[in-house]
Structure 1
Amino acid sequence: MNDSAALPVSHRTLLLPLAREDFGLEFRVVARGGIRRGIRLERAFWASLKQMAESRKCTIGMLIDEIAARHPDTGNLTSAIRVACIRALADENVTLRRLASIRTINAILVACPSPAFALASSKKILSFNAPFQQLVKRQLPPGPNDDARHDLKLALDLNVADIFARLDANGEVPVASGFVIGAGERRYRGQLSAVRAPVAEPELLMAFVFGG
């Protein structure tokens, strides 16, 4: 029995599939400051260097020159380049994870002057701002024995899955939908504009109320 067959499915699907061409070695001569360096790297690392250079608005030669200057004692420039690529990707991943978080969603909602909320695929409201809270209190005032609004329900004219599908199809152009929020026997109908929340997991919508 091989190792992959012994692993559960969840463990066998942790990594993205690797393209065969990424493993191919490619030799390039990089010139910088009168110094010519012949470097042989896997194509995946050349692609990483290109992305790094574009994001830093410099050339690949400038990056390699800096790596060589910072790591003169490694004795193996290609190893230093590989490590630099991996470290840069890791740092970028940490930054993106910090930005793509529920805290960021909450900050956007707080900064929004109009009623807005974050909605899970189950139609559960996970977060909302003060204007949305005020809208609910104004349009659906609680009864004398109902201070907490635990019975608040939300319905959309469009299915949440359909909204995500439209965002995918239209390049993330906001999707408009009617909605109804209700509490007990009271109802309020309005309009909202939905966009995909900038988080990897869970998949969320950010809904901005613009009319009733």
Structure 2
Amino acid sequence: MSDSATSPNDIQIEVFSPDDLTTDFRVVVRQGTRRGIRLERLFWSTLKQMAEHHRLTIGEMVEEIARTNGETSNLASAIRVACLRWMADQRNALGKLASLRTINAILGACPAPAFALSSAKKILTFNPAFQHLVRRQLPVGYGETTHRDLRLSLDLNVADIFARLEVNDGVPISSGFVIGAAERRYRGQLNIVRAPIKAPELLLSFVVGA
């Protein structure tokens, strides 16, 4: 093994900021009773999000946590566990939304021709309007054989599109495109956005004109 190989101890992964570890002491009013609680700032921030999500005050949220876990438990620990559980539930809920099933639903609801394009410039899924466009413009129906033979090129590099979307905070990017099969070609214009899914990386491409 090379001496220059990276040791696991050399890899730094920042899972939190130093400020997150700073503890704050705050007084929370619970059913008219004032009670002091010391928590890390990250948990105070999460507790506030939980309260806003449930349309409660922070005091009411603390009261609900205390009621659920029993007055004899360590309240600060119970709050931390409740925050972690809530964040895990939120992550799971977002995971269900950020899926290929959701992408298919978005494309299916769009009346314009649209498709999902991978970072490898491969069309992974498309809507009926795009299928109709291909059937109308290219020499054969859009079946399995045509799907394999369909060629797509964009005026912009796919990696550049991802980079621009990142810099522009998701503002759609316009690009010309050409699809072809056999000797036929169709040129059009796309509006492109990043798909709301972490993996695989996808671009949602909407045909806006020929």
TM-score, normalised to structure 2, is 0.89
Output the amino acid matched with 1:58: L
CA distance in 1, matches of 2:150, 2:172: 25
Question: Which structure 1 residue ranges, 5 or more long, are not aligned?
Answer: none
Match of 2:135 in 1: 137
Measured after TM superposition, the shift of residue 16 of structure 1 is 4.0
Paired residues of 1:190 and 1:209 also in contact (CA < 8 A): yes
Distance 1:91 1:147 in 2: 39
One-letter identity of the residue aligned with 2:199: E
SS of 1:75's equivalent in the other structure is coil
How far apart, in 2, do the equivalents of 1:163 and 1:75 lie? Answer: 52
Letter in 2 for 1:124: K
The 1:102–1:147 alpha-carbon spacing in structure 2 relative to 1, beyond 3 Å, is: closer
- Compared with structure 1, are the counterparts of its residues 8 and 181 closer, same or farther at alpha carbon in structure 2 (3 Å cutoff)? farther
Q: Equivalents in 2 of 1:79, 1:147: separation in Å?
A: 57
Query: Which residue is 1:192 aligned to?
Result: 190
1:168 — aligned with what?
Answer: 166
For residues 193 and 74 of structure 1, what CA distance do their matches in structure 2 show? 58
Which is worse superposed, 86-95 or 22-31? 22-31
1:148-179: per-residue Cα shift (whole Å, max 9, x none)? 21211100111112212222222211111110
Deviations, residues 153-207 of structure 1 (Å, cap 9, x unaligned):
1001111122122222222111111100011211100111101000011111000
Q: Distance in 2 between matches of 1:23 and 1:76?
A: 19
1:25-174 mapped onto 2 (5 Å cutoff): 25-142=23-140, 148-149=145-146, 150-174=148-172
Q: Given the two structures, how large is their TM-score scaled by the length of structure 1?
A: 0.88
Unaligned runs of 5+ in 2: 1-5
Q: What is the CA RMSD across the aligned residues, in angstroms? A: 2.1
TM superposition shift of 1:25: 2.0
The 1-side partners of 2:169 and 2:46 are apart by 25
Please list the CA deviations of residues 41-95 of structure 1 after superposition, one character each: whole Å capped at 9, or x if unmatched.
Answer: 1121111112222333332111101111111155211111011001100100000
2:3 matched to which residue of 1?
none
Is the Cα–Cα contact under 8 Å of residues 26 and 42 in structure 1 kept in the other structure?
Answer: yes
Rounded Cα–Cα distance in structure 1 between residues aligned with 2:44 and 2:36 = 13
Count of residue correspondences: 203
Seq. identity, %:
60
* C-alpha deviation, 1:121, in angstroms: 1.1
